[in-house]
Structure 1
């Protein structure tokens, strides 16, 4: 603490020890400053009085800033030789510290700065205010907005602070630099001054929105539009208000109306209205709108355009968000590897460029946790997912973030066998939906709860027959496609369990057509898995195998393990039955390895999940295969493993079906080709 306070300056260390009487406790040292008796006397007698009067004056006047240089000192002191003075002050030693190697910027030692600012007060309040006005003007002329606004505020000139922010673009500053930076700047301006300036009210609205205060943000925009309609705002203020108002609407359940979407598209095409940042933001909103409406193909096109605009204009905040959105789109389309790459890139960029914007990084981590969960990287997903979701619940977020976050969080609990924890997580999601007035989120969470209950065979027994048919019919008429998809998947699983496979198959087939049309690859995998369950329940194993083959062709290359594993032990029974029809010999090696990982993870959920293809065979089938490799007869195999000849024949029949062969030599050949022997 002593070294930090004195910055290692030997004389200051000696004086501090004397001043504190050796009591080097943190509170005592913290109170030691440049205005403390001994240090102040030393600085006066040994430093300042050795300098010419004009140099003393320059040091005192430039102490109003955290750092200085010759140009700033010239402006504050009305001189033209400040560079020469600053670079010639060798006698100050450690008290005047160059910030960079070429000595283009300087700062005062903390204790010396304390001393100089104490001397500065003797100039009088009016003189100090004048210096702050000069500093504000100097920083503003060099586009250093924070310095311009801070010194205007210190001068008591709050109108000037407001004018600097308006000149910089108001809400545009937040788009370029993030919400926390905009909040910091708005703090320099009193509320009454903001209230009469529409562009600043818009800026305050976006800060409120990013802090999770959506209702307050909407009220701010409504009042802003009233002022603009009364003639107190210009065209720029109106367009800013429109884009922020649209952003607020996009965070709600309903999203944007078709008329609003058309208006956005017209604004994007109107170069006179849409500045580069606005064109990017409008495309961001279109991305969210198309996602909300279920169309990931259009969402990807809008997101790609937003990224191009942000990259071209160097808007770091927008560049981060465009990657967050693209990661979300890729997840929905089933492009899991791309999603993870995009989200990891977004996280790196946010950590580098938006250090103070914790809410943005939290949203990225929520979506990244979803990608990791789907890969079955449970530890990594838990490490970032739970805390990030808590941050989003208190700060910025929208429907897709919360839906994905609470679905994943409940899945993580289920993967660890914590059924009650999964339901508690969904209760928290329900509370967020209530607090933020998101009825669609409440509905989606309710269907996720139903899904988890069905996986535990804990659904209300009265949900069957005609009532279940009615629920499936209602799901097909849901107001949003996301709700239709979520409800149909949850209810179809229950229908299959309740002996209503035909009804489930019909609902899933109809949903699949629309999902394929909209490019919703993730949902398509789950639909195909459930269609396989329905076909097996109806004794149509060829159809079940066909659906699973299709699901594997989508899931295996991308690594969608949890889409299978969430179905629990039943999925292993389904796969074992289907493999007799699919035949391993006809599958790509990547699909075989993927199946092995699913088998391994389901057998030992808490252990190391191996891609060893031998896991596709049951333990007894692996024993029989080992005998075949040794060219042993059925009798020798039966005797070695303590089973009957008929048992060996039964396992051989299953092995032949799975491998797609009809004799022992071919079974060994296919097993060797696909690495089905555990020691390969």
Structure 2
């Protein structure tokens, strides 16, 4: 019907126009003029539009159009059987040339490839704007796979493009085949060194860090210091060192890698390196520099989709830096921004999102917003990978921190039991609240804890990681039974913390640290800074007591139960068990138990029946 009733009824000029412009996914008058070597294409397009001839306008100005997909398929079939291949290739060539002149390089490449204009396609693919990785790796790989392999191999820079595109899309076996070809056909140190660079990158991607180091060292032994392969391998080695907490060794390599990718226009990769540079600045205790660098990360990333992960990470870490400085409103602002950016698609995985929820819960605790903290940790529990012992230990630690802030000793004890089962997974990282790590120290005993802390101090001190050392020194002070030794440790922590304003590592220990701070003030150890810390601790303790008193003396006050607690109470009234409540609300069993415990506490109830009875008397439930 389409061919007979539509095509055959058109004038030959229009019929020819329809068939030849079917190579275009979208079209306007100027493009069609270039392809058809005509000057009246816009008039033809308008007439086709008016006649409703299976053409769809793409903008209100009636400049851009496309054919209905089925109609275009039929036109392309007619093109294939009615026009010789050389003429079709010329159509694609003229189309490619028009796209290039008008700045549509990707479209120009597509039509060069469709017209089998291989040399032209290669020239376009090697243009700086394409090599700058503004184009997705999979797109580049799709292009290169269309070019005959002998042409790729004859152009070594382009062949490396092909190898890296394969590596970037996880096609490691094909990568190895390409490397073996290069290895057997070239005896050039530059190429052999780059082969080692690629193999190191593949090994790192699959988690084989022994081979990563082996190939990286081989590359460095072959390549001259100013070779771009050294720039590339710097990032791989830096990642290896970071996995081993060797941040001081990673930093210069990361900076070199960042400069290389930024200079070459590889912005997504440059942003990743820059993010790590900011994180290392934070770990070194350079809080102001960390804030500036994370802001630069956000600015450099812009709104490009490939950088979305790094923007979220930057907001997450900015929240952590502001928390460190006790700028709690700013911390909460950036945590919420990170959560907002992660949520729409969850494409970055729950591990980043649940981490942000936990840090937001920590900030809520400091702000005195216990309900906010409970809601945040509930979100984190929903995202928890329960097969991962490190994540389970981390979440348990935050439950302990919330219970400590509420003075809820029974809940602290219960969560500490869970934490002790996973104790070996807890390391000196920023994933675990300091007050909880100190409780772990107490469980170990003074001697064992002292040995472990000294070992950690010896590891981080040579790297100059003051943010880590401040935390270790505070715990060493609290752990020591010798008053003079304890004050020496505390004085060292105060000295490192004063300049950049590290406040929360001290304050998060609460009244546990207050006696040592009073002694420090008496002995003029950073007296002004020590007094500031003590004032914050005592103010937060007063607020905590006020909250606890309000809960214990006025359990019947309106709004005493959170929205989630009311939901749990309704299910308790229906006779559901804790496990059934957890399944109904899609929360963890431990979270359900925590909610039930808090309901009992707030309603001053000893069991479920009493809790439901009191709730009905208060008209909290029907």
- The TM-score bracket by the shorter chain reads 0.5 to 0.7
1:545 aligns with 2:505: no
Matching residue of 1:283: 234
Matching residue of 2:467: 522
Contact kept? 2:197, 2:233, Cα under 8 Å: yes
Matching residue of 2:62: 109
**RMSD (CA atoms):** 5.7
Using the TM superposition, give the Cα deviation of residue 383 of structure 1 relative to its aligned residue in structure 2, in angstroms.
1.3
Matching residue of 1:168: 125
Using the TM superposition, give the Cα deviation of residue 451 of structure 1 relative to its aligned residue in structure 2, in angstroms.
3.8
Matching residue of 1:351: 302
Contact kept? 1:166, 1:200, Cα under 8 Å: no
Contact kept? 1:247, 1:285, Cα under 8 Å: yes
Contact kept? 2:140, 2:165, Cα under 8 Å: no
- Find the aligned partners of 1:499 and 1:222 in 2 and give their Cα distance: 48
Which of 581, 598, 614 is the equivalent residue of 2:520?
581
Matching residue of 2:257: 306
- Structure 1's unaligned 5+ residue stretches are 1-39, 96-106, 209-216, 435-441, 608-680
Alignment of 1:221-370 (within 5 A): 221-229=172-180, 243=197, 245-250=199-204, 255=209, 257-266=212-221, 269=224, 274-275=227-228, 278-352=229-303, 354-370=304-320
Matching residue of 2:414: 458
- Find the aligned partners of 1:112 and 1:221 in 2 and give their Cα distance: 41
Change (3 A) 1:268 1:544: farther
Contact kept? 1:205, 1:221, Cα under 8 Å: yes
If asked which structure has higher relative contact order (CA below 8 Å, sep 6+), I would say 1
Change (3 A) 1:462 1:284: closer
SS in 2 for 1:430: coil
Contact kept? 1:201, 1:221, Cα under 8 Å: no
Using the TM superposition, give the Cα deviation of residue 502 of structure 1 relative to its aligned residue in structure 2, in angstroms.
3.0
Contact kept? 1:145, 1:165, Cα under 8 Å: no
- Structure 2's unaligned 5+ residue stretches are 1-5, 49-59, 154-158, 402-411, 547-622
Matching residue of 2:335: 382
Matching residue of 2:91: 131
Contact kept? 2:396, 2:416, Cα under 8 Å: no
Change (3 A) 1:445 1:355: closer
Using the TM superposition, give the Cα deviation of residue 560 of structure 1 relative to its aligned residue in structure 2, in angstroms.
3.5
- Find the aligned partners of 1:291 and 1:317 in 2 and give their Cα distance: 19
Contact kept? 2:511, 2:538, Cα under 8 Å: yes
Contact kept? 1:175, 1:318, Cα under 8 Å: no
Alignment of 1:77-226 (within 5 A): 109-110=62-63, 124-125=79-80, 126=83, 130-136=90-96, 145-152=105-112, 155=115, 157=116, 160=118, 164=121, 168=125, 176-178=132-134, 181-186=136-141, 202-208=163-169, 217=170, 220-226=171-177
Change (3 A) 1:130 1:168: closer
- Find the aligned partners of 1:328 and 1:164 in 2 and give their Cα distance: 41
SS in 2 for 1:269: coil
- Find the aligned partners of 1:547 and 1:421 in 2 and give their Cα distance: 34
SS in 1 for 2:245: coil
Change (3 A) 1:143 1:492: same
Change (3 A) 1:308 1:358: closer
Contact kept? 2:99, 2:107, Cα under 8 Å: yes
1:564 aligns with 2:506: yes
TM-score for the superposition, normalised by structure 2: 0.60
SS in 1 for 2:385: helix
Greater Rg by CA: 1
Using the TM superposition, give the Cα deviation of residue 225 of structure 1 relative to its aligned residue in structure 2, in angstroms.
0.5
- Find the aligned partners of 2:258 and 2:230 in 1 and give their Cα distance: 10
Matching residue of 1:493: 438
1:507 aligns with 2:452: yes
Using the TM superposition, give the Cα deviation of residue 387 of structure 1 relative to its aligned residue in structure 2, in angstroms.
5.1
- Find the aligned partners of 1:347 and 1:459 in 2 and give their Cα distance: 37
Using the TM superposition, give the Cα deviation of residue 320 of structure 1 relative to its aligned residue in structure 2, in angstroms.
2.0
- Find the aligned partners of 1:238 and 1:444 in 2 and give their Cα distance: 40
- Find the aligned partners of 2:142 and 2:441 in 1 and give their Cα distance: 58
Which of 534, 537, 543 is the equivalent residue of 2:479?
534
- Find the aligned partners of 2:313 and 2:202 in 1 and give their Cα distance: 17
CA displacement 1:256-305 (0-9 Å, x = unmatched): 6542342343466355xx43xx5443222232222222222222211222
Change (3 A) 1:165 1:132: same
CA displacement 1:165-222 (0-9 Å, x = unmatched): 697369x9887325x633344456779999x9975764554554xxxxxxxx2xx112
Using the TM superposition, give the Cα deviation of residue 343 of structure 1 relative to its aligned residue in structure 2, in angstroms.
1.7
Contact kept? 1:528, 1:547, Cα under 8 Å: yes
SS in 1 for 2:414: coil
- Find the aligned partners of 2:544 and 2:130 in 1 and give their Cα distance: 45
Using the TM superposition, give the Cα deviation of residue 243 of structure 1 relative to its aligned residue in structure 2, in angstroms.
4.3
Change (3 A) 1:511 1:423: farther
Contact kept? 2:96, 2:111, Cα under 8 Å: yes
- Find the aligned partners of 2:512 and 2:183 in 1 and give their Cα distance: 70
CA displacement 1:491-523 (0-9 Å, x = unmatched): 963454338223212321232122101222222
Change (3 A) 1:113 1:451: closer
Using the TM superposition, give the Cα deviation of residue 598 of structure 1 relative to its aligned residue in structure 2, in angstroms.
5.3
Contact kept? 1:360, 1:396, Cα under 8 Å: no
Contact kept? 1:426, 1:449, Cα under 8 Å: yes
Using the TM superposition, give the Cα deviation of residue 527 of structure 1 relative to its aligned residue in structure 2, in angstroms.
0.8
Change (3 A) 1:499 1:192: same
Using the TM superposition, give the Cα deviation of residue 390 of structure 1 relative to its aligned residue in structure 2, in angstroms.
6.3
Matching residue of 1:448: 394
- Find the aligned partners of 1:547 and 1:232 in 2 and give their Cα distance: 57
Q: Figure out how many residues of one structure are paired with residues of the other and give that number.
A: 494
Using the TM superposition, give the Cα deviation of residue 429 of structure 1 relative to its aligned residue in structure 2, in angstroms.
5.0
CA displacement 1:285-332 (0-9 Å, x = unmatched): 232222222222222211222233344444433432331121122122
Using the TM superposition, give the Cα deviation of residue 74 of structure 1 relative to its aligned residue in structure 2, in angstroms.
8.7
SS in 2 for 1:558: coil
